[in-house]
Amino acid sequence: MSGKVYLVGAGPGDPELVTLKAAKCLAEADVVIYDRLVDDRLLIDVPSKAELIYVGKKAGHHTLEQPKINQLLVDKAKEGKIVVRLKGGDPFLLGRGGEEAEALSNVGIPFVVVPGVTSSIAVPAYAGIPVTHRSLASSVGIVTGHEDPTKGGSSIVWEKLATGVDTLVFLMGTGNLAQIADELVRNGRPPSTPVAIIREGTSPHQQTLVGTLADIAAKATESGIQSPALIVVGEVVRLRERLRWYDNQPLFGKRVLVTRSRKQASVLSQLLARHGVIPVELPTIEIQAIPDNRELDKAIAHLPDYSWLIFTSVNGVEIFFSHLHDLGRDSRALGGVRLCAIGPATAAALERFGLIADRIPPEYIGEAIAESLQEENIAGKRILLPRSEAATPELVTRLDQLGAKVDEIAIYRTVLPQADPGSGKQMLLAGEIDITTFTSSSTVKHLVSLLGAEWEAVNRTRVACIGPVTAATAAQLGVRVDVVAKEHTIPGLVQVIIEDYRKNREVS
């Protein structure tokens, strides 16, 4: 039985610009055949059993020639697989998707085309250039800057194109920039016409170079700007200085070290990337559930005896309910036990199990939980507190003072990952990191341990901590803390970093 092929547009680069339908196709794929300009983050949610095949091309080097890619699609579909052909931008806009669809049609393989956000419009938009504008441009033309060399000649009618369209967008034209500019001027476009070259558009590495048809080739050579890039020609380029929004953000291009666990790092990285940050992940902790946890087994067996169940982290929620499931039980075992969560992220983790927190303290720190429960008359009440092995004792002490009977159970520990730290460590030591983030005391301790004698490299960056407990740990270890989040959450951490850089930019 034949499978099916989805020709899917991955969008211009920013993984958040992928369509909902594209994401659904990836989540159901047996095979993903992807291009060079596809962001790796799009592959995170592909099923672990799926086969990933890279067929990227760049000038002078093709992993697979196009006819072999066409045949690969056919072969995988004939195996009965759901095949996603993931292509940068839109599959039918200068992406050879039409040829791939023809190859499938010729042998009767069913296929679906999933359009993508095209770079020809999205990339200029991220550079502050609308390709049309009521006062400046009523038409736009999208042109290849690199024609098929086997055609025997150009099919671009320059004498009509040069003055027949207000805005021209050339894809894959960086290597032919001088020729493109010459052809446009020779065929009537004024040499003073503004031009923009946008490299790696919609990514935190985005670069924009502005000139005119008369000087853009020389400027490009001088700057060293390279592909992947597109070229925008037209009066709309003049709007960039007023409309640029993406590369004008206070954090644009800043390299921020993310020290959370590998599993959790993506949440912070994605939020930072929205602000033009280049996230550099250096996981310093790994979460490990306590094995053979008889104490937790006993507590779960007597859940109805507790009045309150307190969670101080997302990890605590996930590990507790995973253990509950392993024992063949679910949230019904909680009965009338009331729930307290330290903050919105922990409360959201409970909601994923169909549970609503009865209490969320106004401050997202452990001690605030006790203050929040004080009015609940917890004297004599039993409280179950499953949390990290390394948790500080202040919360238990305060609950004891209020007369509660607390069963504190360590259900997970944070350890230094055994995996290679990757390039993040080298970038930090080389002074290439602008900001270091810490989301827990463990991340501070483990980064200092990982760096050893070179730990002071952290103090050559701006240091941002998620809350006062984390900041206190950093100070004890000699790490200088520049900012602490007012709201002790991941969004709160990002916000305080933005405010810090905006304030510093205004001062300078």
Average pLDDT over residues 466-495: 95
Helix axes 66-78, 97-106, angle to 10 degrees: 50
Dihedral angle, C-alpha 406, 410, 411, 413, nearest 10 ° = 150
Q: Which residue has the higher pLDDT, 272 or 63?
A: 272
Query: What are the chain's domains?
Result: 4-117 (3.40.1010.10), 121-243 (3.30.950.10), 255-285+418-507 (3.40.50.10090), 288-415 (3.40.50.10090)
Average pLDDT over residues 474-479: 97
Question: DSSP letter at 332?
Answer: G
* pLDDT over 60 (residue 376): yes
- Tens-place pLDDT, residues 19-37: 999 999 999 999 999 998 8
| pLDDT score, position 506 | 64
Give 445's pLDDT tier (boundaries 50, 70, 90).
very high
| pLDDT score, position 148 | 64
- Measure CA 32 to chain center: 20
| pLDDT score, position 161 | 96
Lowest mean pLDDT among 1-5, 97-101, 330-334, 504-508: 504-508
- Tens-place pLDDT, residues 272-328: 999 999 999 999 999 999 999 999 999 999 999 999 999 999 999 999 999 999 999
- Tens-place pLDDT, residues 224-273: 998 889 999 999 999 999 999 999 998 999 999 999 887 777 889 989 99
* pLDDT over 60 (residue 198): yes
| pLDDT score, position 72 | 96
Under a CB-based contact definition with an 8 Å cutoff, are residues 448 and 480 in contact? no
Question: In terms of DSSP bridges, do strands 278-281 and 255-258 run parallel, antiparallel, or are they unpaired?
Answer: parallel
Average pLDDT over residues 470-482: 96
| pLDDT score, position 180 | 96
Q: Report whether the peptide linkage leading into residue 228 is cis, meaning its omega lies within 30 degrees of zero.
A: yes
Tell me which residue of 91, 66, 82 sits closest to 10, measured CA to CA: 91
Catalytic annotation, pick one of 14, 30, 35, 247: 35
Catalytic annotation, pick one of 39, 76, 166, 172: 172
Q: Is residue 57 among the annotated active site residues? A: yes
| pLDDT score, position 104 | 97
| Sequence-distant (≥ 6) Cβ neighbours of residue 376 within 8 angstroms | 308, 359
Catalytic annotation, pick one of 4, 21, 57, 219: 57
- Tens-place pLDDT, residues 412-430: 999 888 877 778 999 999 9
Pairwise CA distance, residues 10 & 87, whole Å: 6
Chain-wide mean pLDDT for the chain? 92
| pLDDT score, position 254 | 95
- φ/ψ region of 329 (left if φ > 0, alpha if ψ in -120 to 50, else beta) reads beta
| pLDDT score, position 508 | 52
Give 131's pLDDT tier (boundaries 50, 70, 90).
very high
Using H for helix, E for strand and C for coil, what is the string for 241-279? HHHCCCCCCCCCCCEEEECCCHHHHHHHHHHHHCCCCEE
Give 341's pLDDT tier (boundaries 50, 70, 90).
very high
Q: Which residue has the higher pLDDT, 365 or 20?
A: 20
* pLDDT over 60 (residue 57): yes
Under a CB-based contact definition with an 8 Å cutoff, are residues 19 and 11 in contact? yes
Average pLDDT over residues 333-358: 94
Average pLDDT over residues 167-171: 97
The rounded percent of the chain whose pLDDT value lies above 90 is 80
Give 151's pLDDT tier (boundaries 50, 70, 90).
low
Tell me which residue of 424, 438, 427 sits closest to 482, measured CA to CA: 438
Average pLDDT over residues 117-139: 97
Average pLDDT over residues 159-163: 96
Under a CB-based contact definition with an 8 Å cutoff, are residues 84 and 114 in contact? no
| pLDDT score, position 61 | 64
- The sign of the torsion formed by the CA atoms of 375, 378, 384, 389 equals positive
| pLDDT score, position 372 | 86
